[in-house]
Amino acid sequence: MIRMANSFWSDVDRHVLRYGGGFTPEIIDRAEGSHVVTEDGRRVLDFTSGQMSAILGHSHPEIVATVREGIGKLDHLYSGMLSRPVVELSRRLAETLPDPLEKVLLLSTGAESNEAAIRLAKLVTGKFEIVSFSRSWHGMTQAAVNATYSAGRRGYGPPVPGNIAIPTPNPYRPDFVDADGQLDWRRQLDFAFDLVDAQSVGSLAACIVEPIVSSGGLIVPPEGYLAALHAKCRERGMLLIADEAQTGLCRTGDWYAFERSGIVPDILTLSKTLGAGLPLAAVITSAEIEERAHELGYLFFTTHVSDPLVAAVGNTVLDVLTRDDMATRAAESGAHLREGLEKLRAEHEIVGDVRGRGLFQGLELVLDRESKRGSDELGRWVTRRCLELGLHMNIVQLPGMGGVFRIAPPLTSTEEELSTGLAVLDRALGEVPVGEFV
């Protein structure tokens, strides 16, 4: 077994192109429920739902049954052909959303859905400038990556003209403060759009944002922020695109995170959670926008647009989310998880902040609570120790902040599994040799 493992990692070194960060030092053999299982039989609790996607856990029996049936009946079609699973999923998604969101395009990945949404916004408005958060992550394809500022911008040449960043409203690390030292988000937002107006050449097409900024450090905008941002867009004739790749479909305790803001975006993008781990994404907009785009010749043919197999999986995902009232379950489980994380903050000085909603929580590590100074190595140390103890965690490490754990267990996680994960994290935090990182 050791020889086989050595051969595996030798093949990795020789043949696998590295695509960002390091690889987890385990050979994963299978995954089931809330766990991944290594080749040597070690069960690791998965607090990231794979890539924030497996909201029903790994190998959910109803998803497995759908795939088995679909692969033998209807897997893939010419992009211009439609099937019942595709039309059914489109209708059912529209039924989960407020008016006027009712027109659906089914694709494969989050980047692809954001690419399609930005392309749609540019065509319909006849403009080309795109505004997004300074801590954003919307994908690695051209339009999506040019609206991404949290990582991946250096070394690839000039970005597409017309992309403008605005400050991310981070209550834990405020840049504009009021008399009480709290984030003055209204003043920050006014300042942001003064800069947008100064940089714009008069061609503002859209603003694309995550209702909860994930890869930028799991940052929850203050209450009222998204509504005020929506108003700024309206004043300028811009469309608002909500990227709910990670927050959509019950994860935050609501079907969609934007619902709490009291607004309806012009375009909504979904991915990750929609396929419960399989490659399925969606762009959803109004009939008015779709009609205008069609008149102008909107084109977004891809090899896997409207594929029936993954659409059937999407229908099964909606079946389970609805039948098992997963929004309520995520809210209740999230309250248990949040209570445990708050206890960790009370007990460990290196826990600077806890934030998030439902089963989408963030925990920020700092060396010093007063200065909020972070350490990349501190975050890596805790991540490694958690894995050794049987818990897989994901940490975001960006300039200007400490390490932020994105905690997103499957919605099917039991209270016992959540408690086990919290206990492992508690132990890892308690073992940190803080003096080595000062």
For 331-380, how does the pLDDT look when each residue is reduced to its tens digit (9 = 90+)? 999 999 999 999 999 999 999 999 999 999 999 999 999 999 988 899 99
Q: Share the mean pLDDT of the chain.
A: 96
For 271-319, how does the pLDDT look when each residue is reduced to its tens digit (9 = 90+)? 999 999 999 999 999 999 999 999 999 999 999 999 999 999 999 999 9
- Catalytic annotation present for 246: yes
For 66-84, give the secondary structure using H, E and C. HHHHHHCCCCCCCCCCCCH
User: Pick the catalytic residue: 46, 210, 307, 353?
Assistant: 210
- Catalytic annotation present for 182: no
The span from the CA of 228 to the CA of 234, in Å, is 10
Statement: residue 431 has pLDDT above 90 = yes
- Catalytic annotation present for 381: no
For 155-202, how does the pLDDT look when each residue is reduced to its tens digit (9 = 90+)? 999 999 999 999 999 999 999 999 999 999 999 999 999 999 999 999
User: Pick the catalytic residue: 46, 243, 290, 364?
Assistant: 243
User: Pick the catalytic residue: 103, 244, 246, 290?
Assistant: 246
For 98-142, how does the pLDDT look when each residue is reduced to its tens digit (9 = 90+)? 999 999 999 999 999 999 999 999 999 999 999 999 999 999 999
Domain ranges of the chain: 2-59+325-433, 74-323
277: nearest Cα among 109, 428, 138, 155: 109
The span from the CA of 52 to the CA of 383, in Å, is 17
- What is the homologous superfamily of the domain 2-59+325-433 according to CATH? Aspartate Aminotransferase, domain 1 (3.90.1150.10)
Point out which residues pair with 286 in neighbouring strands.
Answer: 101
End-to-end CA distance of the chain: 40
What b/e readout covers 192-211, taking b as 16+ CB neighbours within 10 angstroms? bbeebeeebeeebbbbbbbb
Please answer whether residues 365 and 352 qualify as being in contact, where contact means their C-beta atoms are separated by less than 8 angstroms. yes
Classified by CATH at the fold level, domain 74-323 comes out as Aspartate Aminotransferase; domain 2 (3.40.640)
Please answer whether residues 283 and 116 qualify as being in contact, where contact means their C-beta atoms are separated by less than 8 angstroms. yes
Angle at 98 between CA 52 and CA 311, to 5 degrees: 50
User: Pick the catalytic residue: 122, 232, 251, 272?
Assistant: 272
- Look up residue 123 and give its two tokens: 């065509």
CA 358, 114, 59, 47 dihedral sign is: negative
DSSP 208-223: EE-SSB-TTT-B-PPT
Please answer whether residues 286 and 102 qualify as being in contact, where contact means their C-beta atoms are separated by less than 8 angstroms. yes
Strands 239-243 and 163-166 turn out to be unpaired
User: Pick the catalytic residue: 46, 115, 135, 137?
Assistant: 137
What single-letter amino acid sits at 274?
L
When pLDDT is averaged across residues 391-398 and rounded to a whole number, the result is 91
- Catalytic annotation present for 272: yes
Establish whether the linkage from the previous residue to 174 is cis, with ω within 30° of 0: no
**Which residue's structure tokens are 């009291």?**
262
pLDDT at 2: 65
Q: What is the pTM of this model?
A: 0.97
36: nearest Cα among 44, 24, 48, 47: 44
- Catalytic annotation present for 185: no
What single-letter amino acid sits at 66?
T
- Catalytic annotation present for 26: no
User: Pick the catalytic residue: 122, 381, 406, 417?
Assistant: 406
